């Protein structure tokens, strides 16, 4: 073949180009640290890397995050269950201890406060939180799953939505429950007998003893006389009080009169948070606080007779006297001795000794009228306060009973003025009130939702235990309540049998769930370990596919560099000479 | 009977002849680096005296130039053109695919593969923490990133397609102007041929233009006896003698494809060259990847929404679309352009439906089922998952890209070989030319010496004999 100089230059330039291309590819790889960064450089490798990264590594990382979350849930659950087991063991000790015959009834009663404390502790455990979520509520994680049923709702700053007929406002939720409430009416007055109260939604802030929140509730009136109040159905407040003399009511600026002469009025009640009032239920009209010199209407339970005098004390200075009909029957006297951090308040209940006597009781926990623990007229009773009082506030005691069978509610409240109160360093009246008022039936508002998380493809595991499972819904709490009752009522037999058996049953159940939680944690740990190994393996695999062997790459780079230099050198020598150089 | 001065005539011709030789050598040397130049060779012939009866024939008339020809292989030229056509096709394809690769940014942390994965991870996270607004925000942001990423990819492919069309039109103008130049050269060559003259340079020029043309589009070159060439493109005539027929692009309204017609209204279907690469990029390659993306988006939106509508948000809402579903009859075509997180979700995080039941804030089962869509065989009639499908798409892109890289590399080698072969035949070798030059120089010197000896011979005859 004939070879021209142009061919030589072209082939030299081609060779140099080829060498440069290789050098560029290698130096790219070296600077990236990877073998390829485009699919066309290695389609199969690209596919593998995308699969390893996209569905392998990323997913494993997510599973491991899920497992981490699961472990924290189960750890908290385990802690709560362990603590509940401790409490139960303590309760069992107390039960065994007090079931002994040598125990005096009064001594049994002395144990009751501890049991009550333990009950509250248990309920608190049932309301265990993890980063603001209540872990025993099933899917209902945003509000405490355990609530204590109260009897009247205490609305704070409430108002009625005229369109929907919904009462909206703040509510002291712990004391409030969905249910049917009886409406007190005076004999001979026609009108609604019951109000259906439904909690639509509620939001509670703060700890148990110092909570505040808002709730939306719906109140509808169930009437015997449908045509009369049909239009008002669903638009009334919590309490319906007797019209009596206080026929004027201001509600959202609108004046409400009775629907008919001599009928009931519907009233929105505001219960003041600080309990600065002394007297009946502290119901104030409207939405406003009571100011100095202001006059308010006080709506009273029918149990209070005419001419009864109530005094209001505001800021412990001024007194407002209000005379309401007769004043007889209810007198209280009290003093406040301090025993350790517990206050024992002696109340002498001089209950009205008339026909209405059987329509209310002092406290549900303490039994039915006439039963032990229930103060009869003229009796003096010890009340246990587990928290102190606010020293400048006047405590208000509310007596109530809710007859589950008929759904009838009876309430009465008595304010007690303590002359020596200022000498006692008592604080936190609201808490005292609640400990007094609260022990209604605890109830469960959680559900049986199992919080499943995926831990490996297609495999899920529940990271929660619901209150239904762990505490038998409210079974455990009811048992402790009945233990409390048994102690108060000196029911040695119940303590010996049902209570101890029940406690054993629940202990076993809690132990079972605790070990199950342990087993689930173990499974999570094992899975996590396996995922971790898999992650490492996949990373290695990816590294094999896409990572550059640096030593090899640098060696090759240098070899190619040499080849390039050689091509340059030979090229230079080949191009240079021609015949012309040798002709003269 | 010999003529007295007949011998001078031989000398004169010889001098002219060697000068001519040196001249052509000079031309070759001058054009040693001219592109498309084919070396020329002077063909010499001995002049034969006419045979006249009864007349004694002289030994010879000397020599003369019989022809100056270009040394070039038509075969290699044709092969070179064919390989250039193929090379330019594959290079254009390679360019397109490399462009798409850049748009997809795979494999890497910022590609769709990662975003798809993170999208499903965000649902997983929500299934674990259905109450958390932080998780909801993160899911929403993931979804927004995913949708805008897809739209961006799609729009960039649209832009790319538009650029391809512009380039196509520019290249078409080049084809037309090359055809015009070749037709003009044809005319001149035929004219010179008719005069019995010849311009090797014009032939070189025409070959060069044909080569350029072959890079753009597949051509068939037919040499005509009168010296002109006829060029066919995609089976249709592009130029004939001094006439040429312009090409133009038309957009087919129905298919959205670009088509090429010649001036006579006949459809031209290119079979190779950069042109075919561009037409394919516009009509098939880019729309193909867009359609695959559309399909992915369509099923993703469909599946996610189908589940999402069943579940409940924190605020009790249900029946809400997670992604926008623009029409009642939501179709695959250009679904990517409408890929958006729905207004409801953007406005209210509570509407993200994680729960399989109403008023169950701690229920993440709905979110879990959506997260599990990752494993569901949805694409390709239930044969692959979303991510499989996308990975398959990228792998296909890689394979196609690699194929075109390899093809262009292979054909480039062939084209270089052809060019080398042609260069070997037609290229100017300075060594050769120097040798020729020396040869002509010596012949010239000899002829001059011959004349000077003749001169002396005559001088001797005229001066010495006549004295």
Answer whether A2 sits within 8 Å of B106, measured CB to CB.
Answer: no
Name which of B104, B124, B434 is nearest A580 (Cβ-Cβ): B434
Choose the mutation target among B73, B107, B388 for the interface with A, i.e. most A CBs under 10 Å: B107
Judge contact between A319 and A292, C-beta under 8 A: no
Contacts of B93 in chain A (CB under 8 A): none
Q: What is the pLDDT of residues A255-282, one digit of tens each?
A: 333 333 332 222 322 222 222 233 333 3
Mean pLDDT across chain A: 60
In chain A, positions 125-154, which contact chain B (CB-CB < 8 Å)?
A: 132-133, 137-142
The nearest alpha carbon in chain A to B366 belongs to A452
Residues A348 and A331 sit within 8 Å (Cβ to Cβ): yes
List of chain B residues whose C-beta atoms are within 8 Å of the C-beta of residue A52: none
* Interface membership of B112 toward A (CB under 8 Å): no
pLDDT at A268: 27
pLDDT (0 to 100) of residue A546? 84
Chain B residues whose CB is inside 8 A of the A447 CB are: 360
Give B120-124 contacts, CB < 8 A, sequence gap 24+.
B120/A59, B120/B371, B120/B373, B120/B374, B121/A58, B121/A59, B121/A61, B121/A62, B121/B371, B123/B367, B123/B368, B123/B370, B123/B371, B124/A62, B124/A63, B124/A65, B124/A66, B124/A454, B124/B367, B124/B368, B124/B371
Does pLDDT of A22 surpass 70?
A: yes
How far from chain centre, in Å, is Cα B28?
32
Structure tokens at B384: 């692959």
Local structure of A393: helix, strand or coil:
coil
Contact A69 B106 (CB under 8 A): no
Which of A39, A63, A580 is nearest residue B101 as measured by Cβ atoms? A39
pLDDT(A119) > 90: no
Which H or E run contains A415? strand A408-415
Indicate yes or no: CB of B107 within 8 angstroms of CB of A58.
no
Which of A136-145, A363-372, A389-398 has maximum average pLDDT? Answer: A136-145
- Comparing CB atoms, the residue among B361, B375, B431 nearest residue A578 is B431
Q: What's the CA gap between A503 and A514, in Å, rounded? A: 16
Task: Determine whether the interchain pair B394/A54 forms a contact, defined as Cβ–Cβ distance below 8 Å.
Answer: no
Residue B291 pLDDT: 92
Contact A453 B399 (CB under 8 A): no
Nearest chain A alpha carbon to B128: A453
- Closest-CA distance of chain B to residue A86, Å: 28
Peptide bond just before B421 cis, omega within 30 deg:
no
Among all residues of chain B, which has the CA nearest to that of A37?
Answer: B107
**Interchain CB contact of A10 with B (< 8 Å):** yes
Q: Is the pLDDT of residue A247 over 70?
A: no
Say if the Cβ atoms of A449 and B363 lie within 8 Å. Answer: yes
- Could you please report the per-residue DSSP string of A102-157? T--HHHHHHHHHHHHHHHHHHHHHHT-EETTEETTSTT--SS-SEEE--SS--EEE
Q: Residue A89 has what pLDDT?
A: 93
* Interchain proximity B398–A46, CB inside 8 Å: yes
Query: Cβ contact (<8 Å) for A43 and B371?
Result: no
Q: By CA distance, what is B354's nearest residue in A?
A: A139
Flag whether residue B116 sits within 8 Å of chain A, measured between CB atoms: yes
Q: Is B315 part of the contact surface with chain A (CB cutoff 8 Å)?
A: no
Q: Which two tokens stand for residue B119?
A: 């999208």
B427 — contact with chain A (CB < 8 Å)?
yes
Of A244-253, A482-491, B306-315, give the range with the top mean pLDDT.
B306-315
Three-state secondary structure call for residue A427: coil
Contacts of B429 in chain A (CB under 8 A): 2-5
CB of B431 less than 8 A from some CB of A: yes
Q: Which residue did the predictor score with more confidence, A170 or B270?
A: B270
- pTM of the predicted model as reported, rounded to 2 decimal places: 0.67
pLDDT of residue B316: 83
The answer to whether A350 and A377 are in contact (CB under 8 A) is: yes
Residue from the list B104, B111, B399 with its beta carbon closest to the beta carbon of A43:
B399
Residue A186 above 70 pLDDT?
no
Instruction: Compute CA distances B80 → A217, B187, B208, B415, whole Å.
Output: 90, 25, 11, 6
- For the stretch B27-37, pLDDT in tens is 999 998 888 89
Which of A6, A11, A39 is facing B427, going by the closest CB pair? A6
When the pLDDT of each residue in chain B is averaged and rounded to a whole number, the result is: 89
Q: How many CB atoms lie within 10 A of CB B248?
A: 15
CA-wise closest residue to B206 among B225, B229, B182, B227: B182
Q: Which of A265-274, A318-327, A397-406, B405-414 has the lowest mean pLDDT?
A: A265-274
CA of A68 vs chain B CAs: smallest distance (Å): 10
Q: Which residues 407-466 in chain A show a CB within 8 A of chain B?
A: 447, 449, 451-454, 457-458, 460, 464
> Euclidean distance between the first and final Cα of chain B, in Å?
25
The confidence score (pLDDT) of residue B202 equals: 92
For the ranges A74-78, A334-338, A402-406, A517-521, the lowest mean pLDDT is seen at A334-338
CB pairs under 8 A between A and B: 184
Q: Nearest 5°: CA angle at A240, between A237 and A242? A: 150
* Partner-chain contact A142 B127, CB within 8 Å: no
Please tell me the predicted confidence (pLDDT) of residue B333. 77
pLDDT band, residue A70 (cuts 50/70/90):
very high
Put simply, the chain A residues between 231 and 290 with a CB less than 8 A from any chain B CB are none
Structure tokens belonging to residue B465: 């004999």
Q: Which of A138, A139, A145, A452 to mutate to test the interface with B (most CBs of B within 10 A)?
A: A139
Residue with token string 């000479």: A577
pLDDT at A249 over 70: no
B299 C-beta neighbours (distance < 10 Å), count: 19
pLDDT for A539-556, tens place per residue? 998 888 888 888 888 898
A 41-70 residues inside an 8 A Cβ radius of B: 41-44, 46-47, 49-51, 53-55, 58-59, 61-63, 65-66, 69-70
Residue-by-residue DSSP string for A245-294: T---EEETTEEE--SSTT--EEE--EE-TT----SSS-EESTT-PPPTT-
CB pair distance less than 8 Å for B357 and A449: yes
A293-310 mean pLDDT: 36
pLDDT at A135 over 80: yes
Rounded to 10 degrees, what is the CA torsion of B152, B156, B159, B164?
A: -160
Tell me which of A122-136, A417-431, B39-53, B408-422 is least confident. A417-431
Q: Which of A1, A46, A65 lies at the smallest CB-CB distance from B107?
A: A46
Give the one of B357, B396, B420 whose C-beta lies nearest to A139's C-beta. B357
Beta bridge partners of A240: A266
Closest approach of A165 to chain B, Cα-based (Å): 21
Section A249-258 average pLDDT: 30
Region of poorest pLDDT, from A145-149, A388-392, A567-571: A388-392
With CB atoms and an 8 Å threshold, state whether A69 touches B129. Answer: yes
Banded model confidence at residue A441, pLDDT cuts 50, 70, 90: low
Query: Measured between beta carbons, which residues in chain B are less than 8 angstroms from residue A47?
Result: 391-392, 394-395, 398
- The predicted pLDDT at position A351 comes to 36
pLDDT of residue A570: 84
- What confidence category does residue A429 fall into, taking pLDDT thresholds of 50, 70 and 90? very low
CA distance A275 to chain B (A): 35
How far, CA to CA in Å, does A442 sit from each of A147, A151, A403, A494, B79?
A: 5, 12, 16, 21, 96
Name the residue among B97, B374, B429 with its Cβ closest to that of A40.
B97
Is A581 at the interface with chain B, CB within 8 A?
A: no
For chain B, say whether A4 makes contact (Cβ under 8 Å): yes
Q: What is the dihedral of CA B351, B357, B361, B366, to 10 degrees?
A: -70
Residue A194 distance to chain B (closest CA, Å): 28
DSSP A287-350: T-PPPTT--------TTSPEEEEEEEEETTTEEEEEEEEB--S-B------EETTEEEEEEEEB
Q: How confident is the model at residue A482 (pLDDT cuts 50, 70, 90)?
A: confident
Mean pLDDT of A365-385: 35
Q: Does B400 touch chain A (CB under 8 A)?
A: yes
Q: Which residues of B touch A51 (CB under 8 A)?
A: 387, 391
Contact B428 A546 (CB under 8 A): no
Encoding tokens for residue B78?
């044709």
Determine the Cα–Cα distance for residues A436 and B237; give it in Å rounded to an integer: 107
B92, B401 Cβ separation under 8 angstroms: no
- Output the pLDDT for position A459: 87
Establish if B418 touches chain A: CB-CB under 8 angstroms. no
Residue ranges in chain B whose pLDDT is less than 70? 1-3, 56-58, 327-330, 466-467
Contacts of B313 in chain A (CB under 8 A): none
């Amino acid at each position: 073949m004939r070879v021209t100089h142009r061919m030589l230059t072209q082939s030299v330039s081609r060779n140099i180009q080829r060498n440069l291309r290789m050098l560029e590819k290698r130096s790219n790889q070296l600077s990236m640290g990877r073998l390829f960064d485009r699919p066309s450089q290695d389609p199969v490798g690209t596919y593998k890397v995308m699969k390893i990264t996209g569905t392998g590594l990323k997913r494993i990382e997510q599973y491991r995050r899920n497992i981490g979350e699961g472990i924290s849930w189960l750890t908290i659950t385990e802690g709560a269950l362990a603590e509940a087991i401790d409490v139960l063991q303590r309760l069992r000790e107390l039960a065994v201890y007090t079931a002994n015959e040598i125990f005096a009834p009064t001594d049994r009663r002395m144990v009751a406060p501890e049991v009550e404390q333990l009950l509250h502790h248990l309920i608190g455990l049932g309301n265990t939180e993890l980063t603001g979520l209540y872990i025993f509520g099933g899917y209902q994680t945003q509000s405490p799953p355990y609530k204590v049923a109260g009897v009247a709702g205490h609305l704070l700053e409430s108002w009625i939505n005229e369109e929907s007929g919904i009462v909206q406002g703040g509510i002291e939720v712990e004391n409030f429950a969905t249910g049917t409430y009886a409406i007190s009416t005076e004999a001979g007055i026609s009108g609604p007998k019951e109000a259906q109260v439904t909690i639509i939604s509620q939001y509670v802030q703060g700890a148990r003893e110092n909570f505040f929140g808002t709730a939306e509730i719906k109140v509808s009136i169930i009437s015997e006389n449908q045509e009369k109040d049909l239009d008002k159905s669903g638009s009334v407040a919590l309490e319906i009080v007797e019209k009596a003399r206080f026929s004027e009511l201001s509600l959202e600026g609108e004046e409400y009169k009775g629907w008919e002469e001599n009928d009931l009025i519907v009233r929105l009640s505001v219960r003041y948070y600080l309990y600065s009032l002394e007297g009946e239920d502290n119901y104030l009209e409207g939405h406003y606080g009571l100011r100095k010199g202001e006059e308010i209407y006080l709506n009273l339970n029918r149990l209070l007779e005419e001419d009864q005098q109530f005094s209001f004390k505001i800021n412990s200075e001024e007194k407002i006297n209000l005379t309401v009909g007769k004043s007889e029957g209810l007198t209280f006297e009290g003093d406040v001795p301090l025993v350790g951090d517990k206050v024992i308040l002696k109340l002498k209940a001089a209950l009205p000794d008339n026909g209405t006597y059987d329509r209310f009781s002092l406290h549900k926990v303490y039994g039915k009228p006439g039963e032990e623990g229930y103060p009869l007229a003229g009796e003096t009773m010890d009340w246990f306060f587990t928290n102190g009082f606010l020293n400048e506030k006047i405590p208000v005691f509310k007596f109530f009973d809710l007859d589950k069978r008929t759904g009838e509610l009876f309430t009465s409240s008595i304010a007690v003025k303590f002359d020596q109160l200022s000498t006692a360093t008592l604080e936190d009246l609201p808490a005292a009130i609640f400990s007094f008022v609260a022990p209604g039936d605890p109830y469960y508002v959680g559900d049986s939702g199992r919080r499943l998380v995926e831990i490996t493809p297609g495999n899920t595991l529940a990271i929660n235990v619901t209150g239904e499972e762990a505490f038998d819904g409210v079974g455990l709490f009811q048992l402790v309540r009945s233990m409390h009752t048994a102690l108060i009522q000196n029911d040695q037999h119940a303590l010996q049998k049902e209570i101890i058996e029940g406690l054993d049953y629940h202990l076993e159940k809690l132990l079972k769930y605790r070990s199950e939680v342990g087993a689930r944690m173990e499974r999570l740990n094992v899975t996590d370990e396996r995922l971790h190994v898999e992650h490492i393996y996949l990373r290695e695999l990816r590294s094999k596919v896409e990572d550059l062997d640096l030593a090899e790459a640098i060696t090759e780079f240098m070899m190619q560099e040499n080849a390039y230099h050689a091509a340059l050198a030979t090229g230079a020598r080949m191009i240079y000479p021609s015949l012309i150089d040798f002709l003269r | 009977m010999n003529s007295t001065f007949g011998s001078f005539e031989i000398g004169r011709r010889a001098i002219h002849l060697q000068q001519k030789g040196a001249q052509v050598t000079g031309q070759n040397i001058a054009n040693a680096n001219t592109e498309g130049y084919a070396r020329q060779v002077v063909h010499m012939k001995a002049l034969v005296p006419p045979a006249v009866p009864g007349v004694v024939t002289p030994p010879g008339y000397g020599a003369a130039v019989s022809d100056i020809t270009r040394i070039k292989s038509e075969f290699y030229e044709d092969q070179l053109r064919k390989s250039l056509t193929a090379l330019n096709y594959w290079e254009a394809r390679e360019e397109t695919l490399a462009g798409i690769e850049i748009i997809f940014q795979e494999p890497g942390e910022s590609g769709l593969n990662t975003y798809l994965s993170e999208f499903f991870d965000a649902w997983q996270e929500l299934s674990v923490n259905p109450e958390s607004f932080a998780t909801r925000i993160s899911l929403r942001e993931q979804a927004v990133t995913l949708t805008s990423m897809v739209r961006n990819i799609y729009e960039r492919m649209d832009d790319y397609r538009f650029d391809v069309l512009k380039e196509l039109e520019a290249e078409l103008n080049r084809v037309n102007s090359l055809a015009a130049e070749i037709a003009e050269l044809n005319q001149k060559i035929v004219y010179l041929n008719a005069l019995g003259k010849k311009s090797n340079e014009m032939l070189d020029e025409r070959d060069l233009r044909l080569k350029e043309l072959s890079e753009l589009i597949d051509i068939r070159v037919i040499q005509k006896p009168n010296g002109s060439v006829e060029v066919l493109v995609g089976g249709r005539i592009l130029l004939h003698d001094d006439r040429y027929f312009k090409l133009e692009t038309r957009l087919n309204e129905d298919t959205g494809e670009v088509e090429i017609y010649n001036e006579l209204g006949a459809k031209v279907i290119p079979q190779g060259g950069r042109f075919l690469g561009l037409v394919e990029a516009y009509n098939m390659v880019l729309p193909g990847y867009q359609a695959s993306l559309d399909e992915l988006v369509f099923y993703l939106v469909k599946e996610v929404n189908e589940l999402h509508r069943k579940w409940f948000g924190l605020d009790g809402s249900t029946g809400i679309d997670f992604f926008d579903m623009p029409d009642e009859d939501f179709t695959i075509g250009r679904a990517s352009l409408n890929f958006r997180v729905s207004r409801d979700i953007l406005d209210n995080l509570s509407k993200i439906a994680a729960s399989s039941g109403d008023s169950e804030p701690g229920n993440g089962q709905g979110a879990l089922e959506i997260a599990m869509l990752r494993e569901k065989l949805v694409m390709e009639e239930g044969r692959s998952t979303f991510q499989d499908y996308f990975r398959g798409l990228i792998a296909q892109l890689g394979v196609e890209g690699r194929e075109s890289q390899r093809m262009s590399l292979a054909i480039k080698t062939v084209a270089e070989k052809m060019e080398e072969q042609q260069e070997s035949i037609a290229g100017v070798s300075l060594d050769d030319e120097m040798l020729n030059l020396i040869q002509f120089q010596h012949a010239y010197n000899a002829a001059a010496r011959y004349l000077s000896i003749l001169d002396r011979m005559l001088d001797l005859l005229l001066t010495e004999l006549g004295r």
